[in-house]
Amino acid sequence: MQHHPGTHDVRITGLGSYLPALMHDNATLPPLDEPIAPGDLDRIGVDRRGWAGTQEGVAEMAVFAARRALARAGADAADLDVVILTNWTQRRYLPDFAPTVARLLGARRAFAHDLGCACAGFLYGVGIASELLRNPRYRRAVVVASEQTSRRARPGSRGTLILGDGAGAFVLERAAGDGSGGRLIDYELACDGEYAGIMEITDAGWIDTRIAQRELCELAARSIAEVSRRLLARNQRTLTDVTWVIPHSGTAGVQAAIVRALALPAERILTNYASVGNVSSASIPVALDHFIAQGRVRPGDVVLSAAVGGGWYAAAALYTIGELAPSLVAA
């Protein structure tokens, strides 16, 4: 195949996130079936996770995050051409959520659609939106991930410690004349149906992993390393050109396996997993908003984000951080 690195010039001009009003710490979380030893709690590594309330459905959280992203892009929802909503933790036959998100935003001329792709949904959405923006008819897209991951944990299970709710959004624009915004350098999407059965949902709606956690961590890390290496190689870059790796957080075990698989100094991987839990497809924009607000991730930094998801999906994106208006999240 011919060598075709990079995307056309797509800019990340806005970024926003949203966490539920109710953030459970380990003391307020409803008790587990079996008490957990402090050492195990440390190993799980989550101190806080959100539980969305009745006013914080998938569509509403998506709108809160997307509005913040639009505000920072200085963009009006009425000028959006595309809205992609990623969510797998609340599913219904119909209607999809995206048309409602577009309506609530006031994105009157946009078309909109839902995307699943489990925890890899956000990067899948970013990749697809970037290609839509090649069409001269489309100029501006919102990709927003909104997940009620907590609802997929069996009450009383250790999953309730890990799984949290939240939303995060990018505004993507075909490069404006001024070249503002971070640049989406390139992305890579993959899937492997061989592993379709390793994560399923019980009839009651709880997540059920059908392979050992250790195997899952290794598969996740291997998949993330593969798409990341392919992406970097195509763009004549290596990990030394990357300021930060901001992966989908998964679990502490997955994060450790990624560090090993990429042979990366642990301090170059950023997640805010400890303070939000696993927010599934929203994890990357939620973490990015957090670390930009903290001043840790700065304009000009080069970020590699990668995610895996039950399906089996793998995805990666390489992008730079642009000048952004101040975040609306607490640092």
The correct pick among 66, 144, 191, 317 for binding a copy of itself (CB under 8 A) is 191
| Interaction between residue 9 and a copy of itself (CB under 8 A) | no
> Which residues, listed in sequence order, are joined to residue 171 by a DSSP beta bridge?
14, 142
Residues 205-244 that bind a copy of itself (CB under 8 A): 205, 207
Only one of the segments 67-75, 109-117, 165-173, 253-261 lies at the binding site for a copy of itself (rule: CB under 8 A); that segment is: 109-117
By CB under 8 A, the residues from 249 to 308 that bind a copy of itself are none
Contacts of 77 (CB under 8 A, 6+ apart): 66, 67, 70, 105, 106, 107, 108
Residue 312 interacts with a copy of itself (CB under 8 A)? Answer: yes
The answer to whether 104 contacts a copy of itself (rule: CB under 8 A) is yes
Neighbours of 236 (CB within 10 A): 10
User: What are the structure tokens assigned to 34, written together?
Assistant: 């079996």
* Least distance (Å) between residue 85 CB and a copy of itself: 10
Contact between 60 and a copy of itself per CB under 8 A: no
Using CB under 8 A, which of 30, 38, 39, 136 touches a copy of itself?
A: 136
The span from the CA of 289 to the CA of 276, in Å, is 12
Q: Of residues 119, 217, 272, 290, which has the active-site annotation? A: 119
Q: Pick the binder of a copy of itself from 27, 54, 137, 295 (CB under 8 A).
A: 137
* Cα 185 → chain centroid: 17
- Catalytic option among 87, 191, 217, 248: 248
- Residue among 108 and 298 whose Cβ is closer to a copy of itself: 108
Concerning whether 119 is annotated as a catalytic residue, the answer is yes
1 contributes a contact to a copy of itself by CB under 8 A:
yes
Select the residue interacting with a copy of itself from 15, 102, 169, 308 (CB under 8 A): 102
Query: What's the closest the beta carbon of residue 315 comes to a copy of itself, in angstroms?
Result: 8
Q: Is 313 in the site for a copy of itself (CB under 8 A)?
A: yes
Which is it for the CA torsion 159, 160, 162, 168, positive or negative?
Answer: positive
DSSP 265: -
- Tell me if 204 contacts a copy of itself by CB under 8 A: no
95 versus 177: smaller Cβ distance to a copy of itself: 95
Number of neighbouring beta carbons within 10 Å of residue 260:
13
Q: Which stretch binds a copy of itself (CB under 8 A): 15-23, 96-104, 168-176, 252-260?
A: 96-104
Residue 106 touching a copy of itself (CB under 8 A):
no
| Residues in the chain, overall count | 331
278 given a catalytic annotation: yes
Which 3-state string (H, E, C) describes 6-60?
CCCCEEEEEEEEECCCEEEECCCCCCCCCCCCHHHHHHHCCCEEEECCCCCCHHH
Closest alpha carbon to 166 in 313, 22, 1, 323: 22
Inter-axis angle of helices 213-234 and 252-262, to 10 degrees? 40
The DSSP symbol for 246 reads -
Which of 88, 170, 273, 291 binds a copy of itself (CB under 8 A)? It is 88
3-state SS assignment for residue 67? helix
Distances (CA, A) of 121 to 113, 230, 284, 316: 12, 19, 10, 11
Contact set with a copy of itself (CB under 8 A): 1-2, 4, 7, 88-89, 91-96, 98-104, 110-118, 124, 128, 131-132, 134-137, 152, 189-194, 196-197, 199-201, 205, 207, 309-313
Active-site residue numbers? 119, 248, 278
